[in-house]
Structure 1
């Protein structure tokens, strides 16, 4: 009986796993990798240090946007030092829209108006220094 026909029938979960293993075992070139097996937890301080260092060394728009996607992709709100470094990098590569988008990302990640307001109060001097406004300020 053709093994593909045999695998196309509804099988119990354990049987499907066994069938998949037997198919994989018949192929000699299959290599199974455990990418997350060596994953270690990162402290918030190390996360902050890593992204501040990254944004301090950014020299083009692609790298800046890649770093922002990575920084905002974690299940945490980046510290103000990370946001400051990202804003400075956005102005250094002369991309004002990305600087405005940093505040939009911060608003989404903060989740609450109170936390977002605290971030905005702490970032107000840098915001004024760099001449960056939020989306809401631009719409007025």
Structure 2
């Protein structure tokens, strides 16, 4: 009989009070900081790519830079390409141009990026995916 009393369920009043609490409460939060200008964005990411020391940092910075609703400036892309070369990551260097191609609005803008970055691409030995796999369109 003593054991039966020890495992008896809690009274209904206690169980219903616990179930009546809301599952979660979230406070509304707002960011109170100013919008970052394109020039500030460019300077910040140039500095971050200049400080890259391994592949993880490079890819994290690229992910952050391409997550914004804008196309990074050619100077940011140049800093990213130099960082990719510094950490010896050819594949990421090629993918940087794939990211630019996906972000720009039209082929003319992509061509402008290619033209501006051509000397750096040749200096670093970075090929485009279109050059590596010409049959894929």
TM-score bracket for the superposition, by shorter chain length? 0.7 to 0.9
Structure 2 counterpart of 1:32: 27
> RMSD value over aligned CA atoms?
2.4
Structure 2 counterpart of 1:112: 106
Residues 27-80 of structure 1 deviation map (CA, whole Å, 9 limit, x = unaligned): 8xx67362x422320000000000000000000000000000000000001000
Correspondence for 1:130 among 111, 124, 128: 124
Q: TM-score, normalised by structure 2?
A: 0.79
Flag the structure with larger Rg. Answer: 2
* Uncovered stretches (5+) of structure 1, i.e. residues with no partner: 7-21
Structure 1 counterpart of 2:53: 59
Aligned in 2, Cα 1:4/1:133: closer, same or farther, shift over 3 Å?
farther
Alignment partner of 1:121 is 2:115: yes
Runs of 4+ in structure 1 off by over 4 angstroms are 1-6
Note the C-alpha offset of 1:139: 1.1
Q: TM-score, normalised by structure 1?
A: 0.77
Give the whole-Å Cα distance in 1 for the aligned partners of 2:72 and 2:17: 51
